[in-house]
Structure 1
Amino acid sequence: MIALIRYTFATVVHTQRYLAPLLLFMGLMGVLTVNGSGPLPPAYASSAGALFVCSTWLTVALMSLDDPTQRAIVVVSSGGRSLKVLLAAVGTALLSCLVLMVFGLLFPLWLGSYDVTVADLVLGVEAQLTCALVGIAIGVLCSRLVFRRQGYALVAALALVMGALFAKGMPPVNRLFTLMSTTPDAADLLAPTSGLLLTSALLLAVFTTVTQFVAARRE
């Protein structure tokens, strides 16, 4: 698995497909993060939203690194286990998001003047990880393994992203943002956001299973 993750990292760096989602993340952070003060949850909601969109695009890019012929070679080289190759791509996306999470945690603190508590930092980690997992799940489902036509994949990804962001009360993303924008005390949010984090992990597991099922039938 480690070798496959290293291969995926090396390929995405060589092809530079990480640049567009990375620039999008940096741009959204610059636009959404303001030089503010007061409670931190709304600021971390902005960081989580930026990571959500970035993780979706990055995962789609990672899942589309290899054409079908090259993917078949990678699967054979990994012992014929296509699930292992899929999990390596998911792991690569998750590790990349963990690096971006550090920036998402520190950038609002650098720009603003906040009274930071441990609960604020924990909430920031939970919020960003929740959005990253949902973004990765959407990226996996809307990859080439499921949608052979890029146009259909793009429409599906946009529909899922828009639904997750704007469908009122929809867990975990919209519900998370609603809680963080209306509850200033981070300590009061830790329990409900933990539940949303678990929901996002289950969603990623389900979408990964569906993607593997579709890909295995085609292969």
Structure 2
Amino acid sequence: MIALIRYTFATVLHTQRYLAPFLLFMGLMGVLTVNGSGPLAPAYASSAGALFVCSTWLTIALMSLDDPPQRAIVVITAGGRPLTVLLAAIGTALLSCLVLMVFGLLFPLWMGDYVVTTVDLLVGLEAQLTCALIGIAIGVLCSRLVFRRQGYGLVAALALVMGALFVKGMPPVNRLFTLMSTTSDAEELLAPAGIMLAISVVILAMFTAATQFVAGRRE
């Protein structure tokens, strides 16, 4: 698994497919979190939203690094275990998002005027991790393994992202953002944010299983 993650990191760095989603993340952070004040939760909702979009795009890019013949070679090299290759790509996306999460936690503090508590940081961490996991889940489901024509995969990803962001009350993303924008006490957000995080883990597991099922039938 570690060797596969290193291979995926090396490939994505060589192809520079990480640049566009990373630049988008930085641009959204600069627009959404500059010169803020008051409760930290809305600022962290903005950084989590930026990470959500970035993680979706980054995961689709990671899943599309290898064309079918190259993927077949990677699977054989991994001992004929396509699920291991898929999990390695997911692990690479998650590790990349963890790096961005540090920036997402600290950048609003640098650019704004906030009173920071440990609880605020925990809520921000939960929110960003939730959005990263959902973004990865959408990226996996809309990847080349499921949609051979990338245009269809892009349309599906946009639809899922828009639905997760804007369908009122939709857990975990829209529901989480609604809570963070309407609740000023960070301690009251800890438990609901934890529930949304648990839901995102379940969704990622379901989407991964669905992707592996479709890819397995095709391969």
Task: Please give the TM-score of this superposition, normalised by the length of structure 2.
Answer: 1.00
1:144 counterpart residue number: 144
CA distance in 2, matches of 1:89, 1:30: 28
SS of alignment partner, residue 144 of structure 2: coil
CA distance in 2, matches of 1:38, 1:217: 52
CA RMSD of aligned residues (A): 0.4
TM superposition shift of 1:62: 0.1
1:7 counterpart residue number: 7
1:35 counterpart residue number: 35
SS of alignment partner, residue 184 of structure 2: coil
2:62 counterpart residue number: 62
2:121 counterpart residue number: 121
2:169 counterpart residue number: 169
Equivalent residues, number? 219
1:185 counterpart residue number: 185
The letter for the 2-side match of 1:154 is: L
2:208 counterpart residue number: 208
TM superposition shift of 1:34: 2.3
SS of alignment partner, residue 138 of structure 2: helix
Instruction: Describe how 1:29-108 pairs up with structure 2 within 5 A.
Output: 29-108=29-108
Deviations 1:185-217 (A, max 9, x none): 111000011000000000000000000000000
The letter for the 1-side match of 2:54 is: C
The letter for the 1-side match of 2:176 is: L
2:218 counterpart residue number: 218
Task: Please give the TM-score of this superposition, normalised by the length of structure 1.
Answer: 1.00
TM superposition shift of 1:156: 0.2
TM superposition shift of 1:36: 1.8
The letter for the 1-side match of 2:163 is: G
- Percent identical among aligned pairs is 83
TM superposition shift of 1:38: 1.0
The letter for the 1-side match of 2:84 is: K
CA distance in 2, matches of 1:170, 1:31: 25
The letter for the 2-side match of 1:48 is: A
CA distance in 1, matches of 2:120, 2:175: 18
Deviations 1:26-76 (A, max 9, x none): 000011112121100000000000000000000000000000000000000
CA distance in 2, matches of 1:37, 1:158: 31
CA distance in 1, matches of 2:103, 2:150: 31
CA distance in 2, matches of 1:52, 1:58: 10
The letter for the 1-side match of 2:180 is: M
Instruction: Describe how 1:13-28 pairs up with structure 2 within 5 A.
Output: 13-28=13-28
Deviations 1:104-134 (A, max 9, x none): 0000000011110000000000000000000
Deviations 1:158-194 (A, max 9, x none): 0000000000000000000000000011110000110
CA distance in 2, matches of 1:184, 1:34: 19
1:133 counterpart residue number: 133
SS of alignment partner, residue 146 of structure 2: coil
Moved over 2 A (4+): none
SS of alignment partner, residue 177 of structure 2: helix
CA distance in 2, matches of 1:12, 1:37: 37
